[in-house]
Amino acid sequence: MTGSVELSGLRLSNPLMLASGTWGFGETLSPEILRSVGALVTKGISLEPRAGNPPPRLSETPCGLLNSIGLENPGLAAFRKGILPRLLRIGPPVIVNILGESEEEFLRLAEGLRETGVAGLEVNISCPNVKKGGLAFSQDPDGVFRMVRRLREVWPGWMSVKLSPVGPVAEVAHAAEEGGASALTCANTYPALAIHPGPKGPYFHLGGLSGPAIKPLTLRLVYELSRRLRRPLIACGGILSGRDAYEYLLAGARAFQVGTATLLDPEAPRRILSELDELSRAD
Ligand SMILES: Cc1cc2nc3c(=O)[nH]c(=O)nc-3n(C[C@H](O)[C@H](O)[C@H](O)COP(=O)(O)O)c2cc1C
């Protein structure tokens, strides 16, 4: 289970991928850890730089992490010039997570990443579509179908669509597959709220919940989607141990991403792989 995997033509030396937004651009992880993973999925990249949300951006909850980073990133041009060459030199395939506020923005991002050496795209559809009054792409199966089909025209390479875990998930997954996605990443964070007391009254922190709290929820999604879809599923949600990863593989995922665990412990990816290896040997 820790050997190489093939996902619609993308070969990984092992099934563990670093999840978007949770490992920066590798600054805080050792080169050995970065080299040991199956793939590196970058944080979301937009056409123009984004400053993100003001602090606080992270709230700890009893068994999860709530974030409202606001998709801070340097924008496509700075990413291509200043960051991507370094990521490509590390070794594992680099998958760029892209985010846009319109179909056109996604298309321009895909065009801008052609012939850069990246192994594929991960399309983050959990962003609001300004042309639909701010309705997230992930809530609109027809819109997802149209966008993925148009992306296919400009991006012939590998492309995973990263699902939101809320809304018409099965319909959206089907639409992405029909539009031509190579794989589906299941899933992003869950909308959540933390309330903090403060000197001026309670502070309401809205954000996306990740970590152990979401694992049983996303595990079920993976289980149900894997029975309906033809394309490989990449599981993502609350994997902290080899056992968690093992369960996702049993549920039908072909590969998995580790997010919050790496924020908590930079050694987590290597530990998870070795625990998974032990579990699969015991089988
Ligand atoms: C601090 C933080 C930043 C994130 N940034 C992104 C992002 O830029 N794009 C994206 O698609 N997902 C982003 N995510 C979601 C993760 O990639 C992952 O889908 C989610 O955290 C669930 O996995 P986990 O429970 O293993 O963390 C982010 C998550 C966190 C905690």
73 Cβ below 6 A of ligand 1: no
| Residue range 23-40, pLDDT digits in tens | 999 998 999 999 999 999
Segments making up each domain of the chain, as ranges: 5-53+69-189+210-282
pLDDT at 282: 85
pLDDT at 198: 87
DSSP the chain: --S-EEETTEEESSSEEEPTTSSTTSTTS-HHHHHHSSEEEPPPB-SS-B--PPSP-EEEETTEEEE-----B--HHHIIIIIHHHHHHHSS-EEEEE--SSHHHHHHHHHHTTTS---EEEEE--SEEGGGTTEEGGG-HHHHHHHHHHHHHH--SEEEEEE-SSSSHHHHHHHHHHHT-SEEEE--PEEEEEEE--TTS-EEEEEEEESGGGHHHHHHHHHHHHHH-SS-EEEES---SHHHHHHHHHHT-SEEEE-HHHHH-TTHHHHHHHHHHHHHHH-
Distance 259 CA to ligand 1 centre (A): 6
Degrees (nearest 5) of the Cα angle 59, 65, 69? 65
How many Å apart are CA 241 and CA 188, to the nearest integer? 19
Among 16, 22, 106, residue to substitute to test ligand 1 (most atoms within 8 Å of Cβ): 22
pLDDT at 56: 87
Write the Ramachandran bin of 46: left for phi over 0, alpha for psi from -120 to 50, otherwise beta: beta
Distance 19 CA to ligand 1 centre (A): 6
Instruction: State which residues of the chain have pLDDT below 50.
Output: none
Among 160, 169, 188, residue to substitute to test ligand 1 (most atoms within 8 Å of Cβ): 188
Give the tokens for residue 176.
């992405």
| Residue range 188-215, pLDDT digits in tens | 999 999 999 988 899 999 999 999 999 9
| Residue nearest atom 17 of ligand 1, based on CA coordinates | 20
262 Cβ below 6 A of ligand 1: no
pLDDT at 277: 96
Specify whether 236 is catalytic: no
Annotated binding site for substrate: 43, 67-71, 124, 188-189
Among 41, 210, 214, 256, residue to substitute to test ligand 1 (most atoms within 8 Å of Cβ): 210
120 Cβ below 6 A of ligand 1: no
59 Cβ below 6 A of ligand 1: no
Class of domain 5-53+69-189+210-282: alpha beta
pLDDT at 121: 98
State the closest ligand 1 atom to the C-alpha of 212, by its place in the atom list counted from 1: 25
pLDDT at 262: 97
| Residue nearest atom 21 of ligand 1, based on CA coordinates | 210
241 Cβ below 6 A of ligand 1: no
